[in-house]
């Protein structure tokens, strides 16, 4: 009865609709820079977060499991984390950026989750390799929070590169977006590292080895290495604000490959998330991200050369 009611209510579809309206309010607020519109957008995202949260808890009650049990569930949970991170950024900065990140992240990821929802029962029996509530609530939750942090940083990187096309160095909104990119990427790095280490402990208990160079393990390691590379390049003054933003955008590709691309290989001990028909969408997403960076970075460097200088980093 609880599951039937869950299917009738369809909380994630309702959340998706409200996220859509909130996202439109975010765009209007960013164009008009009005306080009323910004507050309305925040209220809209918070309202959408309610059925989103209820849906996740509802699934946990039905299955008796932590929130991540299959690839579909990871999308709705990562979307939830992105929204929470966006609202946290908005609570600190109060410039509309966090609301935009929350609205866009929640809307896009829930829309993508619809792709998996049409393939069958999303409340199916957990595969044997994931049959551990303890590790589902520690390793899997932690690593997916790392995904969310890196994706949110990448989305903020998109905003920074677009702002850099028209706003000079030192502009308040540009500086705020740069700080958001840095903070979100740091969050993603920390959680990805912890999740990868917890995964190694789980692998040692389940398979008798901490690390086996499995494709999924390599994907998680790539996220940690990519984020670490960006922070080391920033500290050593090899890249400036534009480089950090561009690296965060390209980091979205790394996350997508580790999150979805590895599953498409259908090999390794972590191939339980294999889903057909995603290769084309993944390839298009990668091409779009590369094209975006290839266009915006040279234009921003040409318009405001000082933005590319590492000396602007603080």
Secondary structure (DSSP) of 2-64: HHHHHHHH-HHHHHHHHHHHHHHHHHHHHHH--HHHHHHHHHHHHHHHHHHHHHHHHHHHHHT
pLDDT at 195: 92
77-136 pLDDT, tens digit per residue, is 999 999 999 999 999 988 889 999 999 999 999 998 887 776 666 777 666 566 677 778
pLDDT at 76: 93
Assess whether pLDDT exceeds 90 at residue 248.
yes
Nearest-angstrom CA–CA distance, 269 and 213? 10
Nearest-angstrom CA–CA distance, 17 and 22? 9
User: What are the Cα distances from residue 121, in Å, to 4, 40, 275?
Assistant: 12, 36, 14
45-55 pLDDT, tens digit per residue, is 999 999 999 99
pLDDT at 129: 63
Assess whether pLDDT exceeds 50 at residue 314.
no
H-assigned helices in the chain:
2-9, 11-32, 35-63, 71-93, 97-117, 133-135, 141-163, 172-207, 215-235, 241-256, 262-265, 279-303
Assess whether pLDDT exceeds 80 at residue 235.
yes
pLDDT at 277: 61
pLDDT at 303: 77
pLDDT at 313: 46
């Amino acid at each position: 009865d609880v599951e039937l009611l869950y299917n009738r209510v369809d909380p994630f579809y309702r959340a998706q609709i409200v996220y859509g309206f909130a996202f439109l309010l975010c765009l209007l607020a960013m164009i008009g820079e009005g306080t009323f519109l910004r507050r309305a957008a925040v209220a809209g995202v918070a309202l959408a977060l309610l059925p989103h949260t209820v849906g996740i808890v509802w699934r946990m009650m039905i299955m008796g499991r932590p929130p991540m049990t299959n690839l579909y569930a990871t999308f709705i949970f990562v979307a939830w984390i992105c929204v929470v991170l966006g609202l946290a950024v908005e609570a600190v900065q109060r410039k509309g950026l966090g609301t935009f990140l929350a609205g866009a992240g929640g809307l896009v990821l829930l829309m993508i989750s619809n792709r998996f929802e049409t393939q069958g029962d999303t409340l199916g029996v957990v595969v044997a390799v994931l049959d551990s509530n303890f590790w589902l609530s520690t390793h899997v939750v932690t690593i997916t929070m790392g995904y969310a942090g890196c994706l949110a940083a990448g989305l903020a990187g998109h905003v920074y590169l677009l702002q850099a096309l028209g706003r000079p160095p030192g502009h308040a909104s540009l500086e705020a977006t740069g700080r958001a990119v840095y903070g979100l990427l740091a969050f993603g790095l920390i959680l990805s590292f912890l999740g990868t280490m917890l995964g190694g402990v789980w692998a040692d208990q389940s398979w008798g080895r901490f690390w086996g160079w499995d494709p999924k393990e390599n994907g998680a390691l790539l996220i940690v290495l990519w984020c670490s590379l960006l922070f080391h390049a920033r500290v050593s003054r090899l890249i400036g604000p534009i480089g950090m933003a561009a690296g965060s955008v390209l980091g979205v590709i790394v996350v997508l490959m580790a999150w979805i691309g590895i599953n498409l290989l259908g090999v390794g001990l972590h191939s339980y998330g294999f889903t057909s028909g995603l290769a084309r969408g993944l390839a298009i997403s990668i091409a779009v991200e590369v094209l975006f960076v290839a266009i915006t970075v040279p234009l921003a460097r040409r318009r405001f050369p000082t933005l590319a200088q590492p000396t602007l980093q603080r």
